[in-house]
Amino acid sequence: LVDKSRRANSVVFCATGTGKTKVACERMKEVLQAKGSGKVVVLVETIPLLEQQILAIRAELSNGFGERVYGREVLVRGYCGAKMALGNNDFLALLARQDVIVVVPEYLLSLLEKLHGSLAQIDLLVLDECHHCSKEHKYMQVLRQYKNLPKDGGRPIVIGLTASLPSADSVVEAKFQIL
């Protein structure tokens, strides 16, 4: 699964507890190592999932001495409307302060708008519970911004994670194919 995600944007479809987050974390490690200062954004559906993913990512990227990838500390932080005031920062400054940002999609969209950011400033975009990519869901609003980026190196890698089969009106794989 990790190898597939190296070649193209992909959806990791596995049962709960079988390693979807591990696959995403392996790609995070590779991006952070290759870029030296790579930036990863993980989208989650809810605040409880945000907190759960922060703990899981920290544990997966940890070597037992805090979050470390190839000898350096990896900064993992979650943001939602209740946990962070935007202030006068710009999106690049926010990204510069951490390596992995876990956020609900509404907040990412707000950050991009209010801090004049772009998905092009991200190296890896992970969509947890990506079976929600349908119709007017906030994930689709993020992916529309992605689709408008130039194809020649201006787009982050996208990995979707899900344990649920999409419903008949949700065409997750098709949505990822347009990426």
Average pLDDT, the chain: 76
pLDDT mean over 153-160: 84
Tokens encoding 114: 């209010």
Q: How far is CA 62 from the centre of its chain?
A: 18
Q: What confidence category does residue 174 fall into, taking pLDDT thresholds of 50, 70 and 90?
A: very low
pLDDT mean over 122-148: 83
Over the stretch 57-105, which tens digit does the pLDDT of each residue have?
988 887 555 555 556 677 888 877 654 555 555 667 777 778 888 988 8
Q: In terms of pLDDT, which residue wins out, 86 or 48?
A: 48
Say which residue the tokens 């956020």 belong to.
103
Q: What 8-state DSSP symbol labels residue 71?
A: T
pLDDT at residue 35 is higher than 70: no
The pLDDT value given to residue 145: 82
Give the containing element (helix H, strand E) for 21.
helix 20-35
